[in-house]
Structure 1
Amino acid sequence: MISVFDLFKIGVGPSSSHTVGPMVAANLFLSALRKQTKLDTIKSIEIELFGSLAATGKGHATDTAILLGLLGHAPSTIDTRLTSQYLLPIFSDKTLNIAGEHEIAFDVEHHIHWYSDTVLPYHPNAMTISARLADDSRYQQTYYSVGGGFVINEENATNPDDDHATPTIEELPYPFNSASELLERCQKNGLSISELVLANECHYRDKEEVLAYLDSIWDSMQDCVARGCQSSGILPGGLDVKRRAQALYLQLCDEKDRPSAKTDKLAAMDWIDLYALAVNEENANGGNVVTAPTNGAAGIIPAVMHYYRDFLSSYSLDGARKFLLNATAIGSLIKQNASISGAEVGCQGEVGSACAMAASALAEVLGGDPAKCLNAAEIGIEHNLGLTCDPIGGLVQVPCIERNAMGAVKAVNAARLACRGDGQHFVSFDKVVETMKQTGADMLESYKETSRAGLAVIANNRIPTASHGVSVKYSQC
C-alpha cells in the first residue's frame, strides 16, 4: 500500500514522471555510487534517456532535472528561482560539479543521449546513468520513473519481491488491495475511508507526525494557488502560452460583490477553474507544486479543496486532513491495480486518477459514506476513460492546464451526484480501474506522452517546436 507521505510529495514542475522522477533517480545514483567508491574517482558521466523520457524530455526538463540531481539538489528542497544559476556552469563552462564535491568535464551535446524509439522492458520512462571511474571501470544503473515521482531501479523492477525492507500490507491494521476490500473493512469496523487510512498511517508513525505532514501538504497547495494567482507573463518553452490565472483572479475579485455575481448559481465553477489554472501554470513554469498524484494533474485536488474551503460552510482543517487521507486510499488503489503514469496509460491515468481521488474525498467531507465515496471515485474515472496524453511540443501546457480545470469541475459533479444516490452503482470502482488499465494497454503508444499524435501533431503544424534547452525553461522561471 502507498502512504500519504509517498503519494503527496512537494516537488518541482513541470512533470512528476519526467522531472521529479529523473531528479530523484540522479540522487539515487549518487547515493548508490557513494557506497561503491568516492565521488572524486569519477572521470566522466553519461546519461541515456529512453522511450517517453526521450520523446518529450526536452519539453519536460528531463535533462536538466537529472543534472540538478547530480549537482546534489532534491525536488522537495530545490529553490526553483535559482535553477538557471545552478545550471550556468554546465552550459557555459561545460563542467559538472558532482554533489558540489567533485568537478568533471561535461558537455550536454555529447554526454546526454536521446533514444525516443527505444523502450526498455519494464516501463516507457527509463534512463540509464553511468560513471567512468579512475581505474577505467564503469558503474551503471538503470532507473524507471513510473509516475508521481516514484522511481525504481532495474533490479527492483525485475525482482519486486526482493525488497524486504518494504513493510507488507498484512502488517497494517486494515489492509486492502481492492475497493471491495476497503469498503468491507470500513463497514465491518464502522470507519470512514479517511479514518481507516489514518489508522494505517499511524501504524508506522505518530499521529502528530501524520497530521503535521497533511497540514504541510495543504499549506503547500494553498501557497501554490496564491502564487499562481499573482503571476503573469508567458510560459517558457516556445509555445508562447500566456498565463491566465492572474487576469481571471482579478476579474472574479472585481465581480464578487456585484449583484449579478450573487445570483449566478455557477459562480463557484469559475473559481474552481481559477484554482486549477493557477496550480498548473505554476507547474508549467517549473515551480514548486504538490504531486497529486502527478504534476500533470496537480491542479485538480487543490482546486476541489479550495472549493471546499471557500464555498462550503462545513470546511475545517480536520476536514482538509480527511480529504487528503481519503484521496490517498483512492490513489493507492489506482496505482497498485492500474497506473497513474501518462506514459503508460495516457492522461486517463493522471487527470482521471486525480479526478477520482478528489471526487471521493469531496464526497466524504460532504457527508457521504464509504460506498458513496467509491461511487464518486468510479464516476470520476469512468468519464475520463480513453483520455490521451498528447502534449503539444512535449510541454505540460496545452491541453494539460485547461484539462485540470475540466477535471476539477468533473470531480465536484461526481461527488455531488454520488451523494445524491445510495452508494449503489452498476460499474464498481474495481472494474473501472481494471478497464482503465486495459484501455491504456490498448491505446497506441503515440497517444501516451510521446507528442507523436493528437493535438501534439495536428496543432503543432502551425506552432514552432519547443526550443532545446530545458535550460531555457528553467532560465525563464
Structure 2
Amino acid sequence: SADKVATTTSEPNETEHAVISTFDLFSVGIGPSSSHTVGPMRAGVIFVSDLADMNLLDRVHTIKINLYGSLALTGAGHMTPQALLGGLEGDDCETVDPPSVPVRFEEIKQAKKIHLGKNLLKTLGANVDGKPITEGKVIDFDYDVDLKWMFGQVLPHHSNGIRMSVFDKEGEMLATNDYYSVGGGFVVNGALATPSSSSQSPNTEPDTNAPERLHNDSEPSAHPIDWGENVFYKQIRRSEAEGGRRAGSSPTVEGLLPQVEAASPASSHTNDLSPTASSSSPTAEKLTTRPTTGPPFPFRNAASLLRQCKTRNLTIAQVVYENELTWNRPEVVHEKLIKIWTTMDECIRAGVENEEKTLPGPLAVRRRAPSLYARLLRGVYRGAALPGGGGGGKAQLDGPGIDTTPPRSGGTPLDLVNPMTNPRTRIIGNFNHPIMPCPPRRTNFPAIDYLTCYAIATNEQNAAGGRIVTAPTNGAAGVLPSVLKYCFEFIFDDDPVRDLTNFLLTASAIGMLFKRGATLSAAEGGCMAEVGVATAMAAAGYVAVLGGSPEKVLQASVIGIEHNLGLTCDPLNGQVQIPCIERNALGAVKAVTAAQLALAGDGKHSVSLDDAITAMRETARDMHTSYKETSLGGLATAVKVPVAIPDC
C-alpha cells in the first residue's frame, strides 16, 4: 500500500566514512528534480550502456518500464518519463540541451519508436572493452503500453524505484535490473540480471540472482552497499570509479589516516586552496601523501570531522580539498568549482531575464524573478547594472525581460505624471475610526530582497526544466546559489576564488554528513531532506567565508536544520513549483540568519550536528508517506487544482 512508501531510512554503517566527491554532491543537470529527473535519466544511461557492454543491445526487440512509489505518484509532474526515455537514448544530464528533452519525448510518443543508445558514443566514448559503441538500436515503443505507473506498489529498498526489462523477438527476457534514485541525482542499482552468460563481455560479472536478492523483503536493508555500491559516485560504469569511491567503507576510519604530525598554527600554510599553491614544503608533502585505499582524511560524522580539523590544524574546506585530491588534480578541482559557480550564476541570470510570463504546467504559476529584479534596480541606470552595460541602445539599457515601468525615483519626475493615468492605491478603512487605516508602504531589507530574488530565479528555471546545479538536490537548488551570489556581490573582496572554494567545499562537507547520516531524498525525508539540508549547507559556507571556526560552521548547520525538521514535501499537482520555489527563498534567508547567530556565539551549542542528523533520520522514519513527495496530503490535497487540461 501507499502507506509503506519510503520507510527504509536506515542506520548508517559504523565502518563507513561519509566522504564522497564534492563534484558528485554538486553536479550539473536539468530540472525540475534530482531524484525524479536527473536520477531517472542517469538510470536510463546505465541500463542501456550495460546492454551495450554485454553485447545485448542489438538483440533487443522490446523494452518494458515500471515506475514505483514516489516516481509513480509524482513522476508525471517531475518530467520523469521525459528524462528516463532521454537516458535510454544515451542523453547525458550534464550536456543535454534542456529544451530538446520534452521535444524528443513527444517525438517518441508520436512515432511509437525509441532509439536505444543513440547518443551513447557521445556520452561514453567507447565500449567497456575499448571497442566503439554501436549507433544503437531503434525499437518499437508504445508509451501508453510499455511504460507503466505502478501506483501503490513499492520496491523494497527505496520509494523511488524503476524496473527495466528488455526482450528479444521471441519475447524471451534478455536482461532486467532495478534502479533506485536515492536523491541528489545518485542512482543505486544492482547487477544486471540475465538468463545466461553466453553473450556477456568477459569484463562483466552479472549477478543472476539480482531480482531475487533485490526483491526479497526478508533481506536486511541496513545499507545500500549491500545491494548496490554506486550510491557513492555518479559514474555510469562502475569500472570508471576509483575503488575508494565504489566502497566508501573501511575496517576503521582511523586505519585510513596517514601518519601525519599535527601542524602547528604558526606553520600552517594551507589556507591557500588555489591550484597554484606551493606543495614543496614538508607540511605540504605530508598532506599530499595519501593512501591508495581511500581519502587521506576520512570522517564518518561531525565529531570525527571536527577532530580531523583540530588534529591536522585544517579548516573544514581544507580537509575536503585534501580528500578531493584523491580523485582529481588541483587544477581539475579548481576548474570544476568554477564550472559549478558559473552554471549557478548563469541560471540566476536566465531567471531574472526570462521573458516567459508563466511556468510550464496547468498551474500557470506566474514568474516573479524578473519583476523582483526590476525592483532591485530602482534608481539605477539599467545598462550600467547589467553585465557589459554602460552604453548601447534601449534593449541593452532595459535588459531582456526587465520591467521598464518608471521607478519612483529616477526616470520620469513624479510631478509630471498625470494622476488620472496612475491613480493612487485606495486606502481601505474608516478615517473616523479611533484606529486610523495605514497607507500601503514597503519596507526595505536589501539582503532579504536579493536573497529572495536569486533563489526564486534559480528555482523558476529549475521548474521550467532548465540547466541547474544539484545542490544538493534540484528541489532545493536555489538556496546555495542565492547565498553564494549574495556573497559574490556584497562580501567577497580581494580573492573571490579563495572564498568560492571555501564556501563550496565547506558546504559539501555538511552535505556529505547528511547523505551518510540521514537522507537527501524527499521521498524518504520530506522537504527537510532537500531545503532543510541545503539551508544547513549554505549556512556553513557563509560562516566559513566570514572566517568562522569549524565549531561555528557546525553550529550554523545545526541552526539551519533544527528549524526545518519535519518539513513536508507536498507539491501541488506533483510539480516542483508550489510551495517549492518560495521555500527556497525562505531557506536562503534562514541560512544567513543561522550563520549570523552562529557567528555571534562562541561555537558552543546545546545540540550537536550529529544529534540533529540523528533527529532528522528518526523524523524521516516517522513521517507519514503523504508528506514524502507523493502529493497525497498537505497542500497537494488541500488546494483543488483544475484538471481540465492535463500536463502530460
Superposed pair shares fold, TM > 0.5: yes
Deviation at 1:40, TM superposition (A): 2.4
Q: 2:225 maps to what in 1?
A: 160
Residues 1:304 and 2:304 aligned together: no
Residues 1:326 and 2:391 aligned together: no
Cα distance change of structure 1 residues 235 and 306 upon mapping to structure 2, 3 Å threshold: same
Q: 1:67 maps to what in 2?
A: 85
Deviates more, 1:111-120 or 1:422-431: 111-120
Which of residues 352, 375, 392 is equivalent to 1:229?
Answer: 352
Percent identical among aligned pairs is 44
Residues 1:215 and 2:332 aligned together: no
For residues 628 and 362 of structure 2, the distance between their equivalents in structure 1, rounded to whole angstroms, comes to 22
Q: What does the per-residue CA deviation read over 1:221-267, in whole Å, with 9 as the maximum and x for residues that have no partner?
A: 00100001111321112111011101111121125589999x97621
Mapped contact 1:52–1:449 kept (Cα < 8 A) = yes
Deviation at 1:105, TM superposition (A): 1.2
Mapped contact 1:51–1:118 kept (Cα < 8 A) = yes
What is the DSSP-based 3-state SS (H/G/I as helix, E as strand, rest coil) of the residue aligned with 2:138?
Answer: strand
What is the DSSP-based 3-state SS (H/G/I as helix, E as strand, rest coil) of the residue aligned with 2:461?
Answer: helix
Which of residues 144, 152, 155 is equivalent to 1:109?
Answer: 144
What is the DSSP-based 3-state SS (H/G/I as helix, E as strand, rest coil) of the residue aligned with 1:63?
Answer: helix
Residues 1:145 and 2:181 aligned together: yes
What is the DSSP-based 3-state SS (H/G/I as helix, E as strand, rest coil) of the residue aligned with 1:123?
Answer: coil
Q: What does the per-residue CA deviation read over 1:355-392, in whole Å, with 9 as the maximum and x for residues that have no partner?
A: 00000010010110000000000000001000000000
Residues 1:294 and 2:417 aligned together: no
Residues 1:125 and 2:249 aligned together: no
Deviation at 1:94, TM superposition (A): 1.0
Q: What does the per-residue CA deviation read over 1:25-53, in whole Å, with 9 as the maximum and x for residues that have no partner?
A: 00000111112234221111111000000
State the Cα RMSD in Å.
Answer: 2.1
Deviation at 1:428, TM superposition (A): 0.3
Q: What does the per-residue CA deviation read over 1:116-173, in whole Å, with 9 as the maximum and x for residues that have no partner?
A: 2011110000000111124533111100000000001135976715859325453322
Mapped contact 1:228–1:246 kept (Cα < 8 A) = yes
What is the DSSP-based 3-state SS (H/G/I as helix, E as strand, rest coil) of the residue aligned with 1:128?
Answer: strand
Deviates more, 1:278-287 or 1:307-316: 307-316
Structure with a larger share of its residues in helix: 1
Q: 1:427 maps to what in 2?
A: 607
Cα distance change of structure 1 residues 64 and 43 upon mapping to structure 2, 3 Å threshold: same
Q: 2:515 maps to what in 1?
A: 335
For residues 105 and 186 of structure 2, the distance between their equivalents in structure 1, rounded to whole angstroms, comes to 24
Deviates more, 1:103-112 or 1:334-343: 103-112
Which of residues 8, 12, 21 is equivalent to 1:3?
Answer: 21
For residues 224 and 462 of structure 1, the distance between their equivalents in structure 2, rounded to whole angstroms, comes to 29
Amino acid at match of 1:215: I
Structure 2 unaligned regions, length at least 5: 1-18, 119-135, 192-209, 215-220, 230-241, 250-255, 257-293, 382-406, 411-441
Cα distance change of structure 1 residues 66 and 16 upon mapping to structure 2, 3 Å threshold: same
For residues 217 and 364 of structure 1, the distance between their equivalents in structure 2, rounded to whole angstroms, comes to 18
Which of residues 77, 85, 94 is equivalent to 2:95?
Answer: 77
Mapped contact 1:271–1:307 kept (Cα < 8 A) = yes
Q: 1:33 maps to what in 2?
A: 51
Q: What does the per-residue CA deviation read over 1:314-344, in whole Å, with 9 as the maximum and x for residues that have no partner?
A: 4612101111100110000000010010000
What is the DSSP-based 3-state SS (H/G/I as helix, E as strand, rest coil) of the residue aligned with 2:499?
Answer: helix
For residues 98 and 462 of structure 1, the distance between their equivalents in structure 2, rounded to whole angstroms, comes to 36
What is the DSSP-based 3-state SS (H/G/I as helix, E as strand, rest coil) of the residue aligned with 1:209?
Answer: helix
Q: 2:535 maps to what in 1?
A: 355
Q: What does the per-residue CA deviation read over 1:83-102, in whole Å, with 9 as the maximum and x for residues that have no partner?
A: 24322431221111112232
Q: 2:378 maps to what in 1?
A: 254
For residues 267 and 450 of structure 1, the distance between their equivalents in structure 2, rounded to whole angstroms, comes to 36
Amino acid at match of 1:43: H
For residues 432 and 187 of structure 1, the distance between their equivalents in structure 2, rounded to whole angstroms, comes to 22
Higher CA-based Rg:
2
Deviation at 1:204, TM superposition (A): 2.5
For residues 637 and 172 of structure 2, the distance between their equivalents in structure 1, rounded to whole angstroms, comes to 43
What is the DSSP-based 3-state SS (H/G/I as helix, E as strand, rest coil) of the residue aligned with 2:61?
Answer: strand
Q: 1:395 maps to what in 2?
A: 575
Structure 1 unaligned regions, length at least 5: 470-477
For residues 388 and 59 of structure 1, the distance between their equivalents in structure 2, rounded to whole angstroms, comes to 17
Deviates more, 1:126-135 or 1:65-74: 126-135
Cα distance change of structure 1 residues 43 and 462 upon mapping to structure 2, 3 Å threshold: closer
The TM-score with structure 1 as length reference comes to 0.94
For residues 492 and 324 of structure 2, the distance between their equivalents in structure 1, rounded to whole angstroms, comes to 28
Which of residues 286, 292, 303 is equivalent to 1:180?
Answer: 303
Amino acid at match of 2:20: I
Mapped contact 1:268–1:311 kept (Cα < 8 A) = no
For residues 387 and 67 of structure 1, the distance between their equivalents in structure 2, rounded to whole angstroms, comes to 32
Cα distance change of structure 1 residues 462 and 43 upon mapping to structure 2, 3 Å threshold: closer
Q: 1:55 maps to what in 2?
A: 73
Residues 1:275 and 2:454 aligned together: yes
Deviation at 1:466, TM superposition (A): 7.2
Which ranges of 4 or more aligned residues in structure 1 deviate by more than 6 Å?
Answer: 156-159, 257-261
Cα distance change of structure 1 residues 83 and 168 upon mapping to structure 2, 3 Å threshold: closer
Amino acid at match of 1:222: D
Cα distance change of structure 1 residues 150 and 465 upon mapping to structure 2, 3 Å threshold: farther
What is the DSSP-based 3-state SS (H/G/I as helix, E as strand, rest coil) of the residue aligned with 1:144?
Answer: strand
What is the DSSP-based 3-state SS (H/G/I as helix, E as strand, rest coil) of the residue aligned with 2:65?
Answer: strand
Cα distance change of structure 1 residues 427 and 259 upon mapping to structure 2, 3 Å threshold: farther
Mapped contact 1:234–1:241 kept (Cα < 8 A) = yes
Amino acid at match of 1:189: R
For residues 466 and 194 of structure 1, the distance between their equivalents in structure 2, rounded to whole angstroms, comes to 49
Deviation at 1:465, TM superposition (A): 7.2
Deviation at 1:189, TM superposition (A): 1.3
For residues 329 and 611 of structure 2, the distance between their equivalents in structure 1, rounded to whole angstroms, comes to 35
For residues 624 and 102 of structure 2, the distance between their equivalents in structure 1, rounded to whole angstroms, comes to 36
Mapped contact 2:478–2:584 kept (Cα < 8 A) = yes
Mapped contact 1:59–1:466 kept (Cα < 8 A) = no
What is the DSSP-based 3-state SS (H/G/I as helix, E as strand, rest coil) of the residue aligned with 1:80?
Answer: coil
